[in-house]
């Protein structure tokens, strides 16, 4: 046995035994075991006043946008994106994307995230960085194709970056890195893009990641141009014929939600980003009631300013209670599922991660409950959903490997990347 966690409170997210008190959990060859007696572990950790739970899944991010945290904020999405962010992003290099991604991963693992679904650029570089750090990552280039008639998917820059990531073989090493197809959105592409992206995904047995109905302008513009919503356009052109993760869904109609259910589309809910950009609020409670898999994401920190998924959990729950005028809506357990079980399903990892179960990968967190925020605890799920922040994370483990422990980054040279990040700021001034 590699590690033996003794006398822990364990929030398993396993419906068979959701909460275990004063229980031991072990890690053997990267897998979880509850058969700890009689073993000889390399390390024993006393978990009195500590809670163990599955690691968190950030199912929509643009990790390297840590370089744009606080950049041109307090603007509407279209103004911010087209007039400020896109021009700044034109200065990005592979080296800068690597740096921004490393900063993001440091922030994620220190606040409990073990897996992220990333849509950005130079994703072969992102795959390399995630592989080195030891996180789980589903990565894709958000393909943009603004030519209505002559768009050549197979010669576009984003496609070629995805191919390089595939050719590097990160997705074939141990399954931690998955390469996905992507369409940035309905408003940044046209029919040739959608159909060629789907063809590419099918030929390579890939999942799909898209932006969808994030703003009222995007949603209504699609109806004006095509006579139907973004979800209906994508369904018509086969985008949902492969496993798909649709970010946002803020303006999704009842008919759209039914499409999500029928096609098995996961919606990545990004409450803080949607609030900051005043994009609106996704009907998450309705989606869950109808059987749609809903996960959580932070979006890029330039439109959120944090990668702390505990913040997203609390905000997601409270906002749904508010809009339904019902305090029983999206209770703590369901909110935790969005960040764990549902996130694992969104990434195609539901049979190996997302809960603390015998034989599952040891993707897990140790949280300190011996502090003023947590000492009074009647139900750990309630504290995790409403009282916890990333600051309570003492240890983050991915596939049995400790990535972060009590301020120490085991796989990242944190001093160097922070130095380099401060130096990079001048490039975007």
The mean per-residue pLDDT over the stretch 191-214 comes to 95
Bridging pattern class, strands 43-46 and 50-54: unpaired
For the whole model, what pTM was predicted?
A: 0.97
**pLDDT at residue 72 above 90?**
no
Bridging pattern class, strands 19-28 and 3-11: antiparallel
Smallest CA-to-CA distance from 239 within 283, 287, 280, 190 is with 190
Q: Quick check: 237 and 191 in contact, CB under 8 A?
A: yes
The pLDDT-based confidence of 70 (bands split at 50, 70, 90) is confident
The mean per-residue pLDDT over the stretch 17-22 comes to 96
Cα separation, 217 vs 23, in Å, equals: 51
Q: What is the pLDDT of residues 209-238, one digit of tens each?
A: 999 999 999 999 999 999 999 999 999 999
- Using the 8-state DSSP alphabet, how is residue 392 labeled? G
| Chosen CATH of 3-54+354-409 out of 3.40.800.10, 2.30.40.10, 3.90.1150.10, 1.10.645.10 | 2.30.40.10
Q: What is the pLDDT of residues 229-269, one digit of tens each?
A: 999 999 999 999 999 999 999 999 999 999 999 999 999 99
Domain boundaries, given as residue ranges, for the chain: 3-54+354-409, 56-346
Q: Quick check: 246 and 281 in contact, CB under 8 A?
A: no
Q: What is the pLDDT of residues 115-130, one digit of tens each?
A: 999 999 999 999 999 9
Residue 370: CB atoms within 10 A of its CB come to: 10
CA dist 359 → 32, 37, 337, 340 (Å) = 5, 16, 19, 17
Q: Give the tokens for residue 266.
A: 């996961």
**pLDDT at residue 22 above 80?**
yes
Q: What is the pLDDT of residues 329-345, one digit of tens each?
A: 999 999 999 999 999 99
Q: Which of 3-12, 52-61, 98-107, 168-177 has the lowest mean pLDDT?
A: 168-177
Please identify which residue in the block is written with the tokens 């505990």.
310
**pLDDT at residue 299 above 90?**
yes
Cα separation, 273 vs 320, in Å, equals: 15
**pLDDT at residue 426 above 90?**
no
Q: What is the pLDDT of residues 130-156, one digit of tens each?
A: 999 999 999 999 999 887 777 888 788
The mean per-residue pLDDT over the stretch 103-117 comes to 98
Cα separation, 178 vs 172, in Å, equals: 8
Q: Quick check: 243 and 250 in contact, CB under 8 A?
A: no
What is residue 146's predicted lDDT score, i.e. its pLDDT?
Answer: 81
For residues 182, 296, 348, 34, the Cα torsion angle rounded to the nearest 10 degrees is 160
The mean per-residue pLDDT over the stretch 276-293 comes to 96
What is the rounded end-to-end Cα distance, in angstroms, of the chain? 51
Q: Give the tokens for residue 267.
A: 């919606």
Q: What is the mean pLDDT of the chain?
A: 94
The domains spanning 3-54+354-409 and 56-346 adopt the same CATH topology: no
The pLDDT-based confidence of 78 (bands split at 50, 70, 90) is confident
**pLDDT at residue 167 above 90?**
no
**pLDDT at residue 38 above 80?**
no
For 45, the enclosing helix (H) or strand (E) is strand 43-46
Q: Quick check: 302 and 268 in contact, CB under 8 A?
A: no
Instruction: Please give the class, per CATH, of domain 56-346.
Output: alpha beta
What is residue 355's predicted lDDT score, i.e. its pLDDT?
Answer: 98
- Give percent of the chain above pLDDT 90: 83
For 20, the enclosing helix (H) or strand (E) is strand 19-28
Cα separation, 113 vs 405, in Å, equals: 13
Query: 3-class SS at 46?
Result: strand
Cα separation, 130 vs 289, in Å, equals: 34
């Amino acid at each position: 046995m590699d590690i033996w966690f003794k006398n822990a409170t364990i929030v398993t997210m396993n419906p068979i035994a959701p909460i275990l008190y004063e229980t031991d959990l072990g890690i053997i060859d990267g897998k979880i075991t509850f058969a700890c007696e009689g073993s000889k572990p390399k390390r024993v950790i006393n978990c009195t006043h500590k809670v163990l739970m599955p690691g968190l899944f950030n199912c929509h991010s643009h990790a390297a946008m840590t370089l744009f945290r606080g950049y041109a904020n307090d603007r509407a999405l279209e103004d911010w994106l087209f007039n400020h962010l896109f021009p700044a992003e034109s200065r990005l290099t592979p080296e800068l994307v690597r740096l921004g991604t490393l900063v993001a991963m440091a922030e994620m693992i220190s606040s409990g995230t073990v897996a992220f679904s990333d849509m950005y650029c130079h994703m072969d570089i992102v795959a390399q960085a995630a592989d080195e750090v030891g996180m789980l990552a589903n990565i894709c280039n958000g393909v943009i194709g603004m030519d209505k008639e002559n768009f050549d998917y197979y010669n576009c820059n984003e496609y070629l970056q995805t191919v390089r990531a595939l050719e590097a073989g990160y997705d074939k090493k141990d399954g931690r890195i998955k390469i996905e197809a992507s369409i940035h959105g309905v408003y940044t592409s046209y029919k040739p893009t959608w159909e060629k992206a789907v063809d590419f995904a099918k030929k390579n047995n890939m999942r799909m990641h898209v932006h969808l109905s994030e703003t009222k302008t995007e949603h209504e513009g699609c109806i004006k141009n095509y006579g139907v919503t973004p979800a209906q356009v994508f369904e018509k052109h086969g985008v949902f014929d492969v496993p798909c993760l649709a970010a946002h869904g803020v303006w999704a109609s009842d008919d759209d939600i039914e499409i999500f259910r029928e096609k098995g589309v996961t919606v990545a809910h990004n409450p803080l980003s949607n609030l900051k950009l005043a994009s609106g609020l996704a009907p998450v409670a309705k989606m869950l009631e109808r059987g749609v898999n809903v996960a959580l994401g932070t979006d890029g920190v330039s439109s959120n300013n944090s990668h702390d998924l505990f913040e997203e959990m609390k905000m997601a729950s409270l906002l749904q209670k508010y809009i339904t005028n019902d305090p029983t809506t999206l209770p703590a357990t369901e909110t935790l599922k969005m960040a764990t079980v549902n996130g694992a399903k969104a990434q195609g990892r539901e049979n190996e991660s997302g809960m603390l179960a015998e034989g599952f990968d040891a993707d897990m967190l140790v949280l300190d409950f011996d502090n003023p925020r947590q000492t009074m605890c009647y139900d750990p799920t309630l504290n995790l959903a409403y009282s916890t922040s990333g600051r309570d994370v003492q240890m983050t483990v991915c596939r049995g490997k400790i990535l972060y422990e009590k301020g120490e980054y085991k796989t990242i040279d944190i001093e160097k990347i922070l130095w380099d990040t401060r130096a990079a700021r001048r490039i975007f001034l």
